[in-house]
């Protein structure tokens, strides 16, 4: 079972690549979805977050108030480190469980772990291939403004909060250039799939 890490900065086109690989038959394990799952109402992770950051990060229905939590950790490195120490181990454990589940079901499956924070949290895991979706920061900033409705300052702040492009590119086995049109991204993704299947 090839285990492939797919990462990229915000608005880099990572989800487009993941969708295309899924169309080819890859099994996508979504790190963002795992984060939401491990922070669901009633989970140990959510209880620890509330104990650490206060009950005001919990909404009346018992779910996590992401905006309230974000306001406490965004731009506060020590608080963010405390949050990561709670969330990252749980995400790692759950992702490994999902990888094993896929392998048990189909030993020849291609598993793609769609993970924004690879450099920050999972870079030393034994990936068979690390794929980086890459578009220049200016293009990603424009996408955040035009497609997600952020203003320029907010878009830049999101980009600045992540590791640099250089740090991501340094760990890449494969770089998919997502700065041009969709067809260019899909063609590179198709070529990647052929490479994976040929291994």
| Domains of the chain (ranges, CATH numbers) | 3-191 (3.40.50.300)
Counted residue by residue, the chain has a size of: 199
**In angstroms, rounded to a whole number, what is the distance separating the alpha carbons of residues 89 and 198?**
33
Q: What is the pLDDT of residue 123?
A: 77
Contacts of 24 (CB under 8 A, 6+ apart): 190, 193
Q: What is the pLDDT of residue 47?
A: 96
Residue ranges of E strands in the chain: 3-8, 27-30, 111-114, 129-134, 174-177
Q: What is the pLDDT of residue 160?
A: 86
Place of tokens 């965004």: 74
Q: What is the pLDDT of residue 186?
A: 97
Q: Residues of the chain whose pLDDT is less than 50?
A: none
pTM: 0.90
Q: How far is CA 145 from each of CA 6, 45, 105, 192, rounded to the nearest angstrom?
A: 24, 32, 41, 30
Residue (of 38, 126, 124) closest to 84 by Cα position: 38
3 state SS of 176: strand
């Amino acid at each position: 079972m090839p285990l492939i890490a797919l990462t990229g900065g915000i608005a880099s086109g990572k989800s487009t690549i993941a969708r295309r690989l899924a169309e080819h038959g890859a099994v996508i394990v979504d790190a963002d979805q795992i984060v939401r799952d491990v922070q669901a109402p009633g989970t140990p992770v959510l209880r620890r977050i509330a104990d650490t950051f206060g009950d005001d990060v919990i909404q009346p229905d018992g779910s996590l108030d992401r905006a309230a939590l974000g306001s406490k950790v965004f731009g506060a490195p020590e608080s963010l480190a405390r949050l990561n120490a709670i969330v990252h181990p749980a995400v790692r454990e759950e992702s490994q469980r999902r990888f094993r589940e896929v392998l048990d079901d189909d030993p020849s499956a291609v598993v793609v772990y769609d993970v924004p924070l690879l450099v920050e949290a999972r870079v030393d895991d034994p990936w068979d291939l690390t794929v980086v979706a890459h578009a220049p920061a200016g293009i990603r900033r424009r996408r955040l403004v035009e497609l997600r409705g952020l203003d320029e300052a907010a878009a830049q702040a999101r980009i600045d909060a992540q590791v640099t492009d250089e740090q991501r590119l340094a760990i890449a086995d494969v770089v998919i250039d997502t700065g041009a049109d969709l067809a260019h991204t899909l063609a590179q993704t198709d070529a990647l799939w052929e490479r994976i299947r040929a291994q």
